[in-house]
Structure 1
Amino acid sequence: MSHLVIRPASADEYDEIARVWMESWVSTGLAEASNFLLANLRARIRREIEDGWSLFVADDGGTIAAMLALHLPKLYLDQLFVAPSHQGQSFGRQLLAFTRTQMPDEMYLRCVRENEKAWRWYEREGFVFEKEEVATATGFMMKCYRWKRQRAAG
């Protein structure tokens, strides 16, 4: 089993992060790989970091296995994508555990309604569905979730 290191992303990794993001998104069946999509994701990474993203990577022996984008002031888990070549190895669960160290009491996320594999996983991980809304940037119907730490009784 490989040793996964979750660490802040560096600017020279943004292009590779965009590639991992695109490959993972395409693996959902909701998009097709294209140079246009890749260019949009590259531009979005830089724009979102300027707008407050904290961007992390899951480093698997020098290979970027996953990307994680958090907007900590908003308690928002914005993006969590594992490269198709690294799916099924609990990397998503490790990234979510890391996210809970960054936002230990509460967090929100949105998931594309048609990405059933993802939202069912978040539900199993304790996220509670709150509402649906249209993402203005993409037109996708989004399922909105919240996770709140359970307090011990007593």
Structure 2
Amino acid sequence: MSAETRVVLRRAAASDAAAAADVWLRSFAAALPTVVRPRSDDEVRDHIRDVVVPLRETWVAEVADRGGMGGIVGLMVLDGDLLSQLYLAPEWRGRGIGDRFVALAKRRSPRGLTLWTFQVNKPAHRFYERHGFVAVEFTDGSANEEREPDVRYVWQP
């Protein structure tokens, strides 16, 4: 990220839903190519527009640079103490945005957080463990939409 570019974390507005859905779709495809999604691209877009943005505590990472170019490059969703989603545009991974999202989630839920990630997503495991999350439960995936083995992580201050 250049000195000319900055990334702002802010609450999502209804007008962010399409861009946030595109980030979700691109991130999921890049990070989880072996996981079968139970929803079509259009169903994901509808869900983010109709449920996630209006009914959950949804945050976006927006790029703003001096040239006026910008856009949504990240999405984080909190549902109480559940960090239910954290997705970054693939080309924006490794630039500290995920770290900033997790710090924000911890400030919003200072008594602790929980999250689920797929067992095949080893980079996510390393990321969350680096932020103090501990794996506390492994499942066979029978309880999630994707039917993919997952792991529950907990962070306690």
Please state which band the TM-score falls in when normalised by the shorter chain.
0.7 to 0.9
1: CA distance, partners of 2:59 / 2:52: 13
| 1:79 has 2:82 as partner | no
1: CA distance, partners of 2:108 / 2:98: 15
Aligned length: 144
Aligned twin of 2:115? 109
1: CA distance, partners of 2:33 / 2:151: 15
**1:101-151 superposed Cα distances (whole Å, 9 cap, x missing partner):** 1111200000011111111211111101111122431111110000000xx
What TM-score comes out, normalization by structure 2 length?
Answer: 0.84
Aligned twin of 1:47? 51
**2:14 touches 2:53 (CA, 8 Å); kept in 1?**
no
**1:52-88 superposed Cα distances (whole Å, 9 cap, x missing partner):** 421110011131110001102xx10000011012111
Relative contact order (C-alpha < 8 Å, sep 6+): which is higher? 2
User: Any unmatched runs of 5+ in structure 2?
Assistant: 65-69
| 1:120 has 2:123 as partner | no
What TM-score comes out, normalization by structure 1 length?
Answer: 0.85
Q: CA deviation at 1:28?
A: 1.2
Q: Give the RMSD, CA atoms, in angstroms.
A: 1.9
Q: CA deviation at 1:31?
A: 5.2
Q: CA deviation at 1:49?
A: 4.7
Aligned twin of 2:100? 94
Structure 1 vs Structure 2: percent identity of aligned residues? 26
Secondary structure of 2:18 counterpart:
helix
User: Any unmatched runs of 5+ in structure 1?
Assistant: 150-154
